[in-house]
Amino acid sequence: MSKLVAPHGGKGLVCCLLEGAERDAELKKAEGLKTIEISPRAKGDLIMMGIGGFSPLDGFMTKADWKGVCEKFLMADGTFWPVPVTLDTNDEDVKEGDEIALVHEGDVYATMKITEKYEMTEADKKWESEMVYKGEGEDSVDGKFWEVAMDDHPGVQMVMAQGKYNLAGPVKVLSEGDYAERFPGVYLTPTQIRAEMEKRGWSNVAALQLRNPMHRSHEFLAKIAIEVCDGCVIHSLIGNLKPGDIPGDVRIKCIQTLIDNYFVPENVINAGYPLDMRYAGPREGLLHATFRQNYGINNMLIGRDHAGVGDFYGLFEAQDIFERIPYTKEECPDPGKALLCKAMNIDWTFYCYKCDGMASMRTCPHTKEDRVILSGTKLRKALSEGTEVPDHFGRDEVLVLLREYYEGLTEKVEVKMQKAASGSDM
């Protein structure tokens, strides 16, 4: 009997990936089906459905699911889910009842039986953007949201660029892409991570979500988790990011360097998952906890400006939202449909010269001038502009790797410094 938290939804791991002869037959069948070109985001969503990372989802959401998730964090059957997982198209010819092949850049990723086709008007897309991506930061209040979102919020841009229709229905996933080849030993499925944690005897596990290189604050968060849990999964997004962010292979190499030099390796797992970043701030924090539950993880580290972008979200809004979701396990009529992975809330962390070490707002009595403000955005900005990285910001071994990456770039993207990353609100 496993001691790890049960997968989300109460149905065990729902894995839509076909293998062997069954996969071969479905690929052959796909050759005769109408094809729909899918976005990189949908590709990642499909792979997560394939490997069980999005359990209990077995396909793209219906209109009732979409509406319920946006409005109440609940799918039509009452299962908690925080962010829509939908498939868009402009194709006028596909209709309900059709079987289609889902293709990205020439590769067939899945087949799908269309059970519903529903229109997404401009008003629908704006409503989804406001429900899912609008926060409590200064870029979201006082009517400012739509003044800046189309220029500065990649998640909103993604929603507004979607096609005229959404297609719903179950999928049969036929490919995991090239993640296993690009990230050997790091791209791990929920089944694989659960098996490794079982082998280590873990039952109380934390996840550290990463989309930036791992600086001293991230290291500190992981070590806090290791002190109070059996272990920590450093779980990096290895799908697509916005321009200017650092690619997965560089970040994974940096993390492994940190583990090799500054962690007890038996207490940490370096892993990656294949989603694209949505930049949905608090909602994405909930999504991170939801699919981490499928990986056997019951604690989600949530720090400052989790999954944020610009100044759209309050600094600790991603912590607060866990107190506002529809129901806990005890309140839910069907406990398997509630979110069981809990937030492990950590205050703003930094290096303090007077404390002579890492500290947080809860432990350090000193002033802003005594502290090295750490953020992934601040680190990327310094590296991209070739300016000096403050002492105690990152480990020297990691900074060497990051400088090599930036020196090799032929085209650089301007990194905007928002208030959350600059420390001006401290």
Tell how many helices (H) and how many strands (E) occur in the chain: 15, 15
What's residue 389's pLDDT?
Answer: 84
What's residue 318's pLDDT?
Answer: 96
Pull the structure tokens for residue 251: 């970040």
Catalytic residue chosen out of the listed positions 41, 166, 194, 211? 211
User: Higher-confidence residue: 245 or 18?
Assistant: 18
What's residue 18's pLDDT?
Answer: 98
User: Does pLDDT of 418 surpass 60?
Assistant: no
Catalytic residue chosen out of the listed positions 41, 194, 212, 270? 212
* pLDDT 10s digits, 273-290: 999 999 999 999 999 999
Beta-bridge partners for 80: 74
Where are the domains positioned within the chain?
A: 20-173
Pull the structure tokens for residue 9: 């939804």
Q: Which string of DSSP letters, residue by residue, matches 30-82?
A: HTTSEEEE--HHHHHHHHHHHHTTTTT--EEPPHHHHHHHHHHSB-TTS-B--
* pLDDT 10s digits, 228-239: 999 999 999 999
Residue 190: other Cβ atoms inside 10 A: 24
Could you confirm whether 292 is annotated as catalytic?
no
User: Does pLDDT of 115 surpass 80?
Assistant: yes
Q: How confident is the model at residue 393 (pLDDT cuts 50, 70, 90)?
A: confident
In this prediction, residues 97-111 reach a mean pLDDT of: 98
* pLDDT 10s digits, 297-328: 999 999 989 999 999 999 999 999 999 998 66
Q: Which string of DSSP letters, residue by residue, matches 388-410?
A: PPPTTSS-HHHHHHHHHHHHT-S
Question: Percent of the chain beyond pLDDT 90?
Answer: 80
What's residue 288's pLDDT?
Answer: 98
User: Does pLDDT of 352 surpass 70?
Assistant: yes
Q: Are 280 and 155 in contact (CB under 8 A)?
A: yes
CATH topology of domain 20-173: Sulfate adenylyltransferase (3.10.400)
User: Does pLDDT of 424 surpass 60?
Assistant: no
DSSP β-ladder status, 371-373 and 349-352: antiparallel
In this prediction, residues 54-83 reach a mean pLDDT of: 97
Q: How confident is the model at residue 359 (pLDDT cuts 50, 70, 90)?
A: very high
pTM above 0.75, yes or no: yes
